[in-house]
Chains A and B, each alone.
Chain A
Amino acid sequence: MNPQSLNLYSYVKNNPLSKVDPDGHCCWDYITGAAGESLNVVPDTLNAINGAANLALSKFTSYQIPMLDRITPDNNHDSQAGANFMAGPGVVAAMMVPVGGEMKALNLAEGLSVEVRASAIEKEAGIVAKCSDGALSRSANKAETSIAKHSEILRNATKEQVKSITEDLKKAGTRLEAIRAEQAKRIQNAAQ
C-alpha cells in the first residue's frame, strides 16, 4: 500500500490552499484506456448498491440515497499539472482513494468517514495485492456476483434485514473496488 494513497490532497498536488478541483475530475483527464475507465467502478458499484438499497428502503420510507455521477474526462483542467501528478506515485493514489469531489460523495453515500473507508480499502488492497492475475479476475467475478445476489435479496428483505444486507453489499463493493484498482495498477506497471 502506498501511503501516498491516503493523502487526501494529492488531487491538488498537496496544495489545497492555492489549487482546487471542485468537480473532482482533475486526475481523470490523464488516465486513459482500461486503467482509467476502471476508476468508474467506484461510482458504478456504489450506484448499483444504492439502487438496490433504495428499492428496499422505498418499502419503509420516502428517503432515497442520492446516485453518484460517473467520472468523465474534462478538458478544462491544466494538462501539465495533471501529467506531472499522474507520472508519479499519484497513479496509485488516484486509483485507491482520493478522486476529489467524487470521493467525498462516495463517503457520504456510504455513511462512512474518510478514515474508515480508507482503512477498509487499504485492508482489501493488502489482500488483493497478494493474488495472482488469474485469481484476481475470478475474484472480481465473485464480487460482482455477490453484489448482484445481495441486490436481489434486498428486494424481498424485511426492515429488520435491510441493514445487514446493505453492509454485505458495501463490503462486496469495497472488495471489487480494490480488485479493479489493483488490476489498473498492474496494467499501468506493465505499460511502463
Chain B
Amino acid sequence: MSNIETDFLSEQSREWVREVSSLQSRLSEKLIAIGFLNLGEDDPISHHLAEVSYAGSIIAGRLVPQFLKAEGTELSDVAVDLVEDLRELREAIEAMESSLLRLMNQLNPDGGLPRSGVPHRSRPASRV
C-alpha cells in the first residue's frame, strides 16, 4: 500500500520543496507587480515555471553528470529519475503554455514585429 507521508521526505525532496516554494512565491509577486495577475487569481505560471527551473537545474547539475559516472544499479536508478523528471518537466510546460503565451503577448502588444512583419534584429542593414 502506498506510504504517502510528508513528514519523512528525503533531503533531496525537502530541497525541492524549499527551492520551488521560494521561487514560485517570487514569481507570483512579480506577476502581480507587473499587472499580469490580480491578487488571488489562479496562476498557472509561477508553480510550473518554478518546477521547470528547478528540474532543469537538477537535470543539468546532478542527473546527467550522475548518468555519465554511474554503473550497474545506480545507472538504472538515474535512468528512471531522468525519465520521470523529464516527464514532469514536459507536463509543467504544457500546463503553463497558454498562460505564458498570454504573458508574452501582454508584454509585447505589437507582437515585437515592425509593421513590415520582419523582426528588428533580422532586418537587413540599409545600403543607402
* A interface, CB within 8 angstroms of B: 37-38, 40-41, 44-45, 48, 52, 134-135, 138-139, 142, 144-149, 151-153, 155-161, 163-165, 167-168, 171, 176, 180
Contact = CB atoms under 8 A, between A and B. Distances in A.
B40 interface: yes
A45 B43 CA distance: 25
A153 B46 CA distance: 13
24 contacts: A38-B1, A44-B1, A45-B2, A45-B4, A145-B10, A146-B84, A148-B8, A149-B13, A151-B6, A152-B6, A153-B47, A157-B47, A158-B28, A160-B28, A160-B32, A160-B37, A160-B41, A160-B43, A161-B43, A164-B48, A167-B95, A168-B92, A171-B91, A176-B2
Interface string B29-50: 0001000010111111011100
A106 B91 CA distance: 22
Given A41-B2, A151-B4, A168-B47, A160 B40 contact: yes
A144 B2 CA distance: 7
A40 B79 CA distance: 29
B46 A161 contact: yes
Nearest to B22: A156
Contacts of A171: 91
A142 to B, nearest CB: 4
B25 interface: yes
Contact of A148 (B4, B51, B88, B95): B4
Given A160-B32, A161-B24, A164-B96, 20 more contacts: A38-B1, A44-B1, A48-B2, A52-B6, A139-B84, A142-B81, A144-B3, A145-B13, A148-B13, A153-B21, A158-B28, A160-B37, A160-B40, A160-B42, A160-B46, A161-B47, A164-B46, A164-B47, A168-B51, A168-B91
A133 to B, nearest CB: 12
Interface of B: 1-6, 8-10, 13, 16-17, 20-21, 24-25, 28, 32, 37, 39-44, 46-48, 51, 76-77, 79-81, 84, 88, 91-92, 95-96
B4 A48 contact: yes
A164 B4 contact: no
A148 B9 contact: yes
B107 to A, nearest CB: 19
A149 B16 contact: yes
A29 B125 CA distance: 78
Nearest to A171: B91
Given A138-B77, A153-B20, A156-B21, A40 B9 contact: no
B44 to A, nearest CB: 5
What are the nearest 7 A-B pairs in CB distance? A160-B43, A164-B47, A138-B80, A48-B4, A142-B84, A152-B6, A163-B42
B4 A147 contact: yes
Nearest to B31: A160
